[in-house]
Structures are given as structure tokens and as C-alpha cells.
Amino acid sequence: MSIELITGKAGKNHISAVDDAQLNAALAGRGVYLLASEDGSYPTITVLDANTILIPVSHWLVNGRHIRITSQERLTITSGQTGYNRIDLLCFTYTRQSNTGIEDIKLTVVRGTPTTGTASAPSVSSPSLQSDTTVNSTIGFCQVSITGLVPTVNVTAAKLGNIHNISSRLDHVTSVSIGLPYIDRNVTLYKQGRLVMVSEQAVTSGNTPQNTHSVSPYHSIPADYRPIKQGIIMLSDHGGQSASFMVDKDGKVEINGNISNGRYMQILGMWLTA
């Protein structure tokens, strides 16, 4: 028959790892994902020294396959060279014995090619793990960039939150009171999920130089509320005066335009956090 009840008793062994993988991939995606811990945080891959990368206890979803690292693993990379750049690839290497069907997964390092120019990550063969015909597949989850003798890590796997944490982040609203340049009172930033909003009215408390473009040394946006790249807060009144504050990813606030003292301004801004 061309139809099968996977989650049901059939009187014989009929549920395979591929069945689970295809369900997981349909629900969560077919890529490579680092899963969130119970508290919503994500385990961190760290550089111990010039030759050692520490992989933490963690859960991963790779092409729908659940992979669990139950104790810390140390991966060894070869030393870099002064004046050269190189990118190594940390991988999950999957094998299946064609005669028994027994499957296995290991952590491996694929070494890149040193160059005096811009380094590229090595290519690997990565057939899908959702097929029961795949016998070998090497799938990268982190790049190690070695500049001279110094390695740094960049996790290429996406972060995947659990349903509870995703729901609570979307539903929960937080707020913080901040000061802004030339504004007579604090305003409130609201955050829901990754979206930050401000919508208030306030009076200006000073005059800016004509057509100013300057970063305020006295004001900063809190870290959890900073934009992924750039955010804009617009100011305007019914008399036609307008200006803006540009917020950068480090929380710095740049004043743009002309602000006159004693104007009753509408303040509106919105951006996405990292």
C-alpha cells in the first residue's frame, strides 16, 4: 500500500529513523540547527587554545536527525601560519553500513587550504539524511577561521528555540525607561519578541546646532533593546519641525536635523533586535 500509519501498531517493525527525520524536518526545517537548552539559552562552542575547540553538551537537529552530545568534546585543529589565513569546517560525519543498516555519527574536522588572501571554507559532500540510501554524509555546523596563529569560531548552524520559549518570547512584553538627547523626560521602549517600539509625546529641552549630525556622549540604548543593524526614532510636530535619532547596533544615539527648545514633539520608532 502507498499509505502507512507511522505512529501505530502494525504487528511488525515498521518505524525507521528516516520516518522520524522526515517528520522533524517537516516541522522544524531541513537545515542544521542548534537546539535551545531548557532555560532558553544556547550552548557555546569555544576556543581553548590555538589547536583545540571545545564542543559543549548540546542537542542538534540535522536534516531532521536528532543528535545529542552527552559530554564535552575536544576537536583538534592544526596550527595556523603567520601571514596566512585558513578556514576549517567542524562537521557531523554520518555513516550507515549498507549490509546491516547500522548508523553512526561522529564529530570531525575538515581542514581548509591556507592562503595569503581571503580564505574559503572547504567543500564537503552532504547527501540528505532523510534518505535510507545515504551511506556517507559530512555536514558542517561551525567554521573555524584561523588568521595567522589565532583561531575564532563562527557557528553556521541556525538556533532553534523550543515551542515554549518561542511562545513566551512572542507573548511577553518588556519595557525600559531611557533618556534621549534634547527631550525633557524619559521615554519608554517596549519589546515584544525581537520588535522594539516607542510611541510618545514629549517637549524638547534645548536647541541643536543647525543641521546637526552628532553622536550623544550621554545617551545609550540598553543592550537587549539595540537594533540588529540600525534603528530610527522620528520626531515631528504640527508646526512642521522634524528631526530623528539614529540608533546603531552598539546602542549609540546620533542626532540628525534641527531641534528647537520648547516644541511638543511626537516620538515614534521601531526596529528589530539581533
Residue 244, C-alpha cell as written in the block = 530623528
User: What is the chain's length?
Assistant: 274
The pTM for the full model equals 0.63
CA–CA–CA angle 225, 271, 264 (5° rounding): 90
Cβ neighbours of 268 (radius 10 Å): 15
Residue 132, C-alpha cell as written in the block = 535510507
Q: Which fold has domain 173-272?
A: Immunoglobulin-like (2.60.40)
**Could you tell me which CATH number the domain at 17-163 has?**
2.60.520.10
Burial of 242 (0-12, 13-18, 19+ CB in 10 A): middle
The mean pLDDT of 202-210, rounded to a whole number, is: 87
How many helices (H) and strands (E) are present in the chain, helices listed first? 2, 19
- At 171, the pLDDT band (50, 70, 90 cuts) reads low
Q: What is the mean pLDDT of the chain?
A: 92
Q: Is the dihedral of CA 165, 169, 173, 179 positive or negative?
A: positive
Summarize pLDDT for 81-140 with one digit per residue, the tens.
Answer: 999 999 999 999 999 998 999 999 999 999 999 999 999 999 999 999 999 899 999 999
Is-contact 129 137, C-beta < 8 A?
A: yes
The better pLDDT of the pair 39, 228 is held by 228
Q: Where are the domains of the chain?
A: 17-163, 173-272
Query: HSE on the CB side for 245, CA within 13 Å?
Result: 24
